[in-house]
Amino acid sequence: MPKFPHAAKRLLTGSRLFGFVACVLLCTAGSFALADDTLTVTPAVSAREMYDSNVYMAGKGDMEHSLSPSLKINLDKERVRGYISGQANIYRYSSLSDYDRTDQKYDAFMEVNATERVRASMTAGAVVDHTFSSTLENTGQIAQLTLREVYGVQPSLTFDVTERNTATIFGGYTQTRYGSTIYADSNTTSYGGRWGYQLSERTQAIAQISRTKIEQDSAHQSVISTLGGFEYKLTELLKLRLLGGMSSMQSTNTLGQDSSRNGFSADTSVEWRVDETSTLSASYNRDMTSGLNGEDIVRDRYSIFGAKKLTEKLQVLLNGNMVLSKISASNNSGSTSNTRWMEISPQAQYQIFEHSTLALGYGYGAQKVDETGVTKERNQVFLNFSISFP
């Protein structure tokens, strides 16, 4: 039986958090003069029609109709900046009505320059969704369409020790709850520090250490990760980030059995603004994390993004992502599986009016489990209209 079957309860919980962060931001804003345009409220809405050849990789195709209203409140002052936003995603299907759903997402961010050298920031968020998409994108696993609630907060404090030295301490707490017993609820805590040293006008050396602890019912994992490297601006238009290090995971499974593993970790990216009309970025990350039921996962993630403005109103975009995951069973059986998820999506966007856009796109995705050799594919064609009211 579901643990929280009533949609009204989910909406109320998310709305309470949205209201709380709204009050924090607005009360902070109230302590500053708002005679100029420091506080902006932007409602927006988008509508999409999409044909999906393999809805939730269940072997059936259908038309998906979606509507996404949203609201963002932005604050920008000399010493304080931040925003809160809320969005609902309403999905309906022509034939597969069992997959109809409504997802919600709320985000908040606040940064305060306490002094010339000290900055404090806080990020908070809440998500009420249905597990499938996030699991596929993050681990390459196909999950059941199960209700999920995620609440999180991440504070940080940055201190400019000197003109060249910057130190940051950060933390975080995330709570994940599922609407059924199919997957294990979890609590995640993290903390760490980062140091940056400006070697030159274009080069910054970076060192970071963090610890993340994930608790899922009777299983838990602890991951310690170290990264070191540099960011380098080859030119004003080309920026490179190259960090590498080691990760160590200590795990206790649902049977109380312990295990450990060590591995290489990485955080790399390149950003290239080719010219005034074209941009290109690519990244590679490697880390350790936990699965839906406490599995140990070592994952490699690749992504690429490109945008080219053809005319004043027309641009084309390309998104690509790939996730390779080595998943170790949570019952200490010694069995492992290797999954891979790859997706690519080109689209064309046309600016109809100043704040409205029409997009036509295509998406291809494929998931494969190496041990079985089974590959599941999907093709998506969509037409999206969006408009905002700043």
Whether the pLDDT of residue 14 is over 60: the answer is no
Q: How many domains does the chain have?
A: 1
Q: Which long-range contacts (CB under 8 A, 24 or more apart) does 29-34 make?
A: 29/75, 29/77, 29/80, 32/77, 32/80
Give the domain CATH number at 340. 2.40.160
**Mean pLDDT of the chain, nearest integer:** 88
Domain assignment present for residue 1? The answer is no
Domain assignment present for residue 362? The answer is yes
Closest CA to 72 of 2, 25, 117: 25
φ/ψ of residue 193, rounded to 5: -140, 155
Range of the domain at 89: 7-388
Whether the pLDDT of residue 53 is over 70: the answer is yes
pLDDT in tens, 187-212: 999 999 999 999 999 999 999 999 99
Domain assignment present for residue 344? The answer is yes
pLDDT computed for residue 255 by the predictor: 73
Q: Any residues with CB less than 8 A from the CB of 29 and at least 6 apart, and which? A: 38, 39, 75, 77, 80
Output Rg (C-alpha) for the chain, integer angstroms: 22
> Tokens 């997706």 label which residue?
343
The model's confidence at residue 335, banded by pLDDT at 50, 70 and 90, is: confident
Q: Any residues with CB less than 8 A from the CB of 33 and at least 6 apart, and which? A: none
Closest CA to 186 of 145, 212, 219, 155: 219
- Mean pLDDT of the region 212-218: 88
pLDDT in tens, 344-368: 999 999 999 989 999 999 999 999 9
d(CA 346, CA 320): 9
pTM: 0.84
In this structure, are residues 103 and 111 in contact, taking their beta carbons and an 8 Å threshold? no
> Tokens 């059995």 label which residue?
257
Domain assignment present for residue 124? The answer is yes
pLDDT in tens, 229-247: 999 998 889 999 999 999 9
Domain assignment present for residue 2? The answer is no
Percent of the chain clearing pLDDT 90 (strictly above): 69
Whether the pLDDT of residue 272 is over 70: the answer is yes
Tokens at 135, concatenated: 């699991």
d(CA 145, CA 49): 21
Higher-confidence residue of 63 and 181: namely 63
